[in-house]
Amino acid sequence: MTLHNYKKKRDEEGFEDIYTNSISQTQLPKSELPAKASPPQVIRQLVYDELFMDGNARQNLATFCTTYIEDEVRELMDLSIDKNMIDKDEYPQTAEIEKRCVSILADLWHSPEKNDIIGCSTTGSSEAAMLGGLALKWRWRKRREAQGKSTDKPNFVCGPVQICWHKFARYFDVEIREVPLRSDELGVKPDQLQDYCDENTIGVVATLGSTYTGVYEPVQELAKALDVIQNETGWDIPIHVDAASGGFIAPFIQRNLQWDFRISRVKSINASGHKFGMAPLGVGWVIWRTVVDLPTELIFNVDYLGGQMPTFALNFSRPAGQIIAQYYKFLRLGREGYTAIQNECAITAQYLGEQLRKIDLLEILYDGHGGIPAVCYALKDESTSGFSLYDLSDRLRMHGWQIASYPLPSNRQNITVQRILIRHGVSRDMVSLLLRDLHQEVEHLKNNPVLNFSNKVSFHH
């Protein structure tokens, strides 16, 4: 039977396999809708096949986000796939679960309020950070208007921050005053604030877990420096803590660290539930110290979904599954579970730091002690090593490892670093395999220097 006649006979008899379906015999449409519908099993498999091109999320040591998901979480996410978080009248129990999560976090971060807590879930800590920033701007503007002063030049002061704060500055017309790093520092220091704060400063943003290195900025010391500034100038400058990562770490393994609402100058905190909060991707949290710290102008009452519902998030319709999964993690782990997991992650990161310190070419900038479970390092001398950390990232990717290489910010942009994050699910055995591959590739690059090294570094930057 010829191939042509076989295909004709197959079509006539109705036999069909996923990979003999007509759409499987062509390239999938890339820029326009297909003309006809296709069986769901076929399309699912073909899309599934394309996703094989992605890297293995569990080997992505550059991401802060959760990559280890329990089966129970997947089941709860599936159960909640049709729930709209904003529709609190239709899904009152889901709204109740969000409220419980806000109360749990307020308690975890030592809120002075017990019965009048204000906060909400967001799609991530970036949205939560912007809400915190907006509240700072509105409160500053109201104070200035009451004093009869201009409100056209707001600014906020920070050290190296995640890109969301640059977006906030541009989107909401606020000057960002990012304090340059000193030659031996990785974050803003208290004595630097006096040179950057003024009467138009809406707040200082302190980072508890730097995106660049993993270190904590000294929130308590920053607050004391602002106390001095207020005594000298009368400027009452609040603090927002970007605790995207550290907000789910410090309360469990660095309990004596003063960074949260125990400091009266801290007016709001954001955190990312889908990072070290261990919820699946798509949930963040913002909590204000008291109700008055969230201006009423930022709260909208919605009635067209049924009932009167206050909302103050930037996004509107969004899935509820991540919030429900976050509540599951709170109940599932409790203080005991979070403490055990975060402590083990920190110990593993510190072990990795010790092992990396033995590699002569590397300079350890952060070894996993005192901040989030991570390590950060640079080459001691890029000009004589014969390769860059970008080259090392490329070599490690051949083993499946995804490790970020990038320049430090501000005054230290001439230094390229790598950062490795140790999250729940990154075991000591995985780290030993990473070290094996890293040693192998460092030796390879030492013995096979990269040609046109200076051009390669310039290209990557």
Helix (H) or strand (E) holding 225: helix 219-233
The owner of tokens 């906020």 is 156
Look at residue 306 in the predicted model and tell me its pLDDT: 54
- Rounded-to-integer distance, Cα 283 and Cα 126, Å: 10
Q: Facing residues of 157 across strands?
A: 177, 204
Give me the DSSP letters along 94-115.
HHHHHHHHHHHHHHHTT-S-SS
Write b or e for each residue in 332-370: b if 16 or more Cβ atoms lie within 10 A of its Cβ, otherwise e. Answer: ebeeeebeebbebbbebbbbbbebbeebebbeebbbbee
Distance in angstroms between the alpha carbons of the first and the last residue of the chain: 59
Look at residue 98 in the predicted model and tell me its pLDDT: 93
Look at residue 19 in the predicted model and tell me its pLDDT: 82
Distances (CA, A) of 39 to 80, 128, 243, 439: 25, 40, 46, 48
Question: pTM score, two decimals?
Answer: 0.90
Burial label, 71 (beta-carbon count in 10 A; 0-12, 13-18, 19+): exposed
- 366 — phi, psi (to 5°)? -145, 125
Check residue 5 and report its DSSP letter: H
Domain architecture of the chain: domains with CATH: 3-54 (no CATH), 74-330 (3.40.640.10), 340-460 (3.90.1150.160)
Look at residue 402 in the predicted model and tell me its pLDDT: 95
10-residue mean pLDDT profile of the chain (461 residues): values are: 52 68 82 88 89 88 87 93 81 90 96 89 94 97 96 96 95 96 89 97 97 96 98 97 98 97 98 96 95 90 59 82 96 97 97 97 96 96 90 96 91 88 95 97 93 47 35
- At 4, the amino acid letter reads H
Burial label, 138 (beta-carbon count in 10 A; 0-12, 13-18, 19+): middle
Across 333-433, the runs of DSSP E, i.e. the strands, are 362-366, 374-379, 404-407, 416-421
Give me the DSSP letters along 103-172.
HHHHHHTT-S-SSS-EEEEESSHHHHHHHHHHHHHHHHHHHHHHTT---S--EEEESS--HHHHHHHHHT
Q: What is the dihedral of CA 366, 368, 372, 373, to 10 degrees?
A: 130
Length, in residues, of the chain: 461
Contacts of residue 227, Cβ cutoff 8 Å, sequence gap at least 6: 265
